[in-house]
Amino acid sequence: MAQIRITGLGRDARDIPGETLDALAARLEGTLIFPDDEGFAEAILIWNGMIKKQPALVVRPSSTKDVVQTVDFVRDNELVLSIKGGGHNIAGLALSDGGITLDMSGMRAVEVDVEARLARVGPGCTLGDVDQATQVHGLASTLGFVSATGVAGLTLGGGFGYLTRRFGWTVDDLEEVEIVTVDGQVRCASRADNDDLFWALRGGGGNFGVVTEFVLRLHAVGPQVTAGIIAWPASEAEAVLQLYRRTVESSPRELTTVVLRRNAPPAPWLPEAAHGTPIQAMARPDSGADDANREWVRSAWRALKPYSTGGNYVNFQTEEEADERTFESYRDNYQRLATIKAKYDPSNLFRVNRNIRPLLRAA
């Protein structure tokens, strides 16, 4: 292989010799994908098309052993590493310019234990992968709203969706993880093993290592459910929001209702005259906007922010938001998270995320 230049942890460019890359490739069961290779564009494809980043190299592991080899390589060469599960993160944290991206799409196995009501889920799985495997048995875990979302990012950020009112957050269903930490060790984290790490992983994001398997609790749900969407002209927004509030206050836990405002899609169930006009809806959320609509969303957010409690959901933070927003997500838990970060990743190798910096105490 030819020598390539990869961004280092100090944001400096580091020349990695071809023989070093050859040695890494020889240790992997998976593949290395370079910018000129077929499949590179697919490997770095993410949901948010506004994000323009290109890694220098993609590693697509096919096993936990491959992940260990990649973490060792990145750590020993002090390189920037990003991790792509489903690639659905709004801030584009799956990629880093000039760094190495660990593309987990080669690890998408789902094993369902019907009697134990547990699912073992690979880190490259989407919500759709899990639902397809579990719904055969009339079972489901508390995942998100969009089937193309990655299980890994959703879960590590806390996770909520259509079943949240009934069963809680995604991390409430998380029973165990297998994780590769910065020292290249494979650890099990659960309520019984490495319980401090398990606590941190349940909402602390990708700050503590590379998760190579999630074990999720399952519930009896489906395979048939009742669902639908109701839309009104945006001029009815006040009345719709009042109805929404009354509905969620009085509805059973089995019913989850989502309210949104957007331009009407060209859907067959809407009058043609309504297409492209603002509507208020109770439904499953969708997205897609031009420059004018993006500015409307941002201005609406600025107008709403004074009414916020100050907290926020870390998975919904955008690329340009300051570090203070991450602190606001965790509030009183931040220092504990930073202490655990120092234990498991003192060098802050896992930093392409909503970063929690390690709290290093003086000797």
Is 304 in a helix, a strand, or coil?
helix
Regarding whether 74 and 12 lie in a shared domain, the answer is yes
Contacts of 104 (CB under 8 A, 6+ apart): 60, 61, 83, 84, 85, 122, 123, 124, 152
Amino acid at site 283: A
Q: Among 292, 309, 326, where does a domain finish?
A: 309
Predicted confidence at residue 142, as pLDDT, reads 95
Q: Is residue 363 part of a domain?
A: no
Contact 178, 186 (CB under 8 A): yes
For β-strands 110-113 and 259-263, DSSP reports them as unpaired
Low-confidence ranges of the chain (pLDDT < 50): 283-289, 362-363
Closest CA to 153 of 313, 345, 286, 297: 313
Is 12 in a helix, a strand, or coil?
coil
Predicted confidence at residue 289, as pLDDT, reads 42
Q: Is residue 344 part of a domain?
A: no
Regarding whether 73 and 118 lie in a shared domain, the answer is no
List the CATH number of the domain containing 80: 3.30.43.10
- CA pair distance 266, 310, nearest whole angstrom: 36
Domain count, the chain: 3
Predicted confidence at residue 292, as pLDDT, reads 65
- CA pair distance 127, 160, nearest whole angstrom: 12
Q: Among 81, 106, 131, where does a domain finish?
A: 106
List the CATH number of the domain containing 208: 3.30.465.10
- CA pair distance 358, 344, nearest whole angstrom: 9
- CA pair distance 96, 136, nearest whole angstrom: 38
Q: Is residue 269 part of a domain?
A: yes
Closest CA to 257 of 243, 268, 271, 275: 243
Closest CA to 37 of 4, 79, 75: 4
User: Which residue segment(s) compose the domain that 179 sits in?
Assistant: 110-222
Q: Is residue 327 part of a domain?
A: no
Q: Among 204, 222, 240, where does a domain finish?
A: 222
Q: Is residue 316 part of a domain?
A: no
Q: Is residue 337 part of a domain?
A: no
Regarding whether 136 and 70 lie in a shared domain, the answer is no
Predicted confidence at residue 93, as pLDDT, reads 92
Partners of 17 in the beta sheet? Answer: none
Regarding whether 118 and 55 lie in a shared domain, the answer is no
Structural tokens at position 353:
């995320």
Regarding whether 137 and 82 lie in a shared domain, the answer is no
Structural tokens at position 38:
């077929």
Closest CA to 319 of 98, 22, 53: 53
